[in-house]
Amino acid sequence: MPDYAIFYEWAMFAVRWLHVVTAIAWIGSSFYFIALDLGLRKTPSLPPLAHGEEWQVHGGGFYHIQKYLVAPEFLPEHLTWFKWESYATWLSGAMLLVLLYYVGADLFLVDRNVLDVPSWIAILISAGSIILGWLLYDTLCKSPIGQSTTGLMLVLFAILVAMSWGYTQLFTGRASMLHMGAFTATIMTANVAMIIIPNQKIVVADLKAGRVPDAKYGKIAKQRSLHNNYLTLPVIFFMLSSHYPLAFATQWNWIIASLIFLMGVVIRHYFNTRHARQGNPHWTWGVAIVLFLVICWLSTAPRLPGSETETLASETGERFMATEHFAAASQAVQTRCAMCHTAEPVWQGIYQPPKNVILDNDVAIANHAHEIAIQAGWSHAMPPGNVTEMTEAERALLVEWYREGTGS
């Protein structure tokens, strides 16, 4: 099919758009309900079995909300379930993982300088590690350790640190950081799908059958919901990290990922404490700032081995190097793009190669053929503002070279 890359790019754009929209919905509802739950007030006018209430004003109207730890005496026919935000976020994220990191595994997932394995093995490791994360976490929650909130969080943090390091021994720096997001987000969505919603359905079924629901189901769901609350900010960071090489392409990227979890915890602790009306812990911002400065300092370490130049062509890259127009395309890219896309950019104001993409040698150019064709062939996104005056003939050459390599 001609210009398959165009449709592929639009498919990724559509899925990314969906992912952002659903994530906003999920994160928004999560933050809202945590704040609501912590801010509930006990008043003399509360109905029997009610745990607390809150009055809110929004959009020109007033809302009176009451919470029941088990359930009210009367259960209405209509119930609004908050689950599809989570499910849709995870499903769209999984689609992005497949489209970008699995379809493009030989470039975005596998780093031959780290672990030279076939793409299919890397994909199996990726999927297996994500599933393993949920199994470990769920087992911990159901073990005696799960009875201690602090103990459980410390063990979970140790696992996250280990995974942060482990991923850097398997994948590219960019994929390692992204996988920490997928690893954590899977735990969060599985909490909703496997624990929170099923427990709530048990309570609803008991009420409809005239039975008294067991309060333990609500308690378990509340624990998992609290964990999701503390894990949200790190997941957002990992989702954004692929745009910032200083986060994923330096020597201590796994420590940076670990510290991000601590930053997320202290920031959420501040807001949770405020919402619960239990004080104003300004010290959390001091800790967050110190952690952020440490992260900035860690990012000044040398870049990952192999990130300054690419010496091994991927299977796809080898095909593009064997095409008729490769030499001319490579010369065009090195003439118009390499002043920024090199280990030490010479363009004023550019201190790191954008997205850590190096385009100053034949192997790197062949490996990034798809991105080059999209950014500088079909579109005029690169060079920015066409500051290096790439000609229309050169752009047409890049498209023709890409078509040769893909056989389209």
By C-alpha distance, which of 390, 302, 403 is closest to 340?
390
The one-letter code for the residue type at 99 is L
The amino acid present at 145, given as its one-letter code, is I
What is the pTM for the complete model shown?
0.83
Contact 333, 372 (CB under 8 A): yes
Give the pLDDT confidence of 271-313 residue by residue, as tens digits: 989 888 888 999 999 999 999 999 999 988 766 555 555 667 7
Q: Which structure tokens are listed for 243?
A: 């745009």
Give the E-state strand segments of 195-354 in sequence order. none
Structure-block tokens of residue 90: 């995870």
**Cα 137 from Cα 155, distance rounded (Å):** 9
The pair of structure tokens assigned to 9 is 């790019």
Amino acid 184: pLDDT: 96
Give the per-residue pLDDT at 47. 83
Whether 48 has a pLDDT exceeding 90, the answer reads: no
pLDDT confidence of residue 165: 95
Neighbour count for residue 160 (Cβ, 10 Å): 22
Q: Are the CB atoms for 358 and 250 separated by under 8 Å?
A: no
pLDDT at 305: 54
Residues in the chain: 408
Q: What does the pLDDT look like over 233-251, one tens digit per residue?
A: 999 999 999 888 888 888 8
CA angle 287, 289, 293 (to 5 degrees): 115
| Residue 240: count of CB within 10 angstroms of its CB | 12
DSSP3 helix / strand / coil % (the chain, rounded to 5): 65, 5, 30
Over residues 28-40, the pLDDT tens digits come to 998 888 888 888 8
Residue type at position 222:
K
What is the distance, to the nearest Å, from the Cα of residue 258 to the centroid of all Cα atoms in its chain? 14
Distance between CA 35 and CA 30 in Å, rounded? 9
Mean pLDDT, rounded, of the chain: 88
Confidence at residue 310, expressed as pLDDT on a 0 to 100 scale: 62
Pairwise CA distance, residues 119 & 116, whole Å: 9
Residues 6+ apart with CB under 8 A from 294: 259
How confident is the model at residue 1, as a pLDDT?
41
Question: d(Cα 177, Cα 256) in Å, to the nearest integer?
Answer: 10
pLDDT digits (tens, 9 = 90+) for 78-121: 888 889 999 999 999 999 999 999 998 888 898 888 888 999 99
56 phi and psi, to 5 degrees? -135, 155
Can you give the pLDDT at residue 148? 86
Say if residue 69's pLDDT is above 80: no
Q: What is the pLDDT of residue 307?
A: 53
Least confident among 144-153, 347-356, 393-402: 347-356
pLDDT, position 223: 87
Region of poorest pLDDT, from 17-26, 185-194, 212-221: 212-221
- Do residues 311 and 305 lie in contact, with contact meaning Cβ atoms separated by under 8 Å? no
Question: What is the C-alpha separation between 36 and 275, in angstroms, rounded?
Answer: 8
3 state SS of 56: strand
CB 405 within 8 A of CB 377: no
Residue 200 CB neighbour total at 10 angstroms: 19
CA angle 3, 310, 391 (to 5 degrees): 45
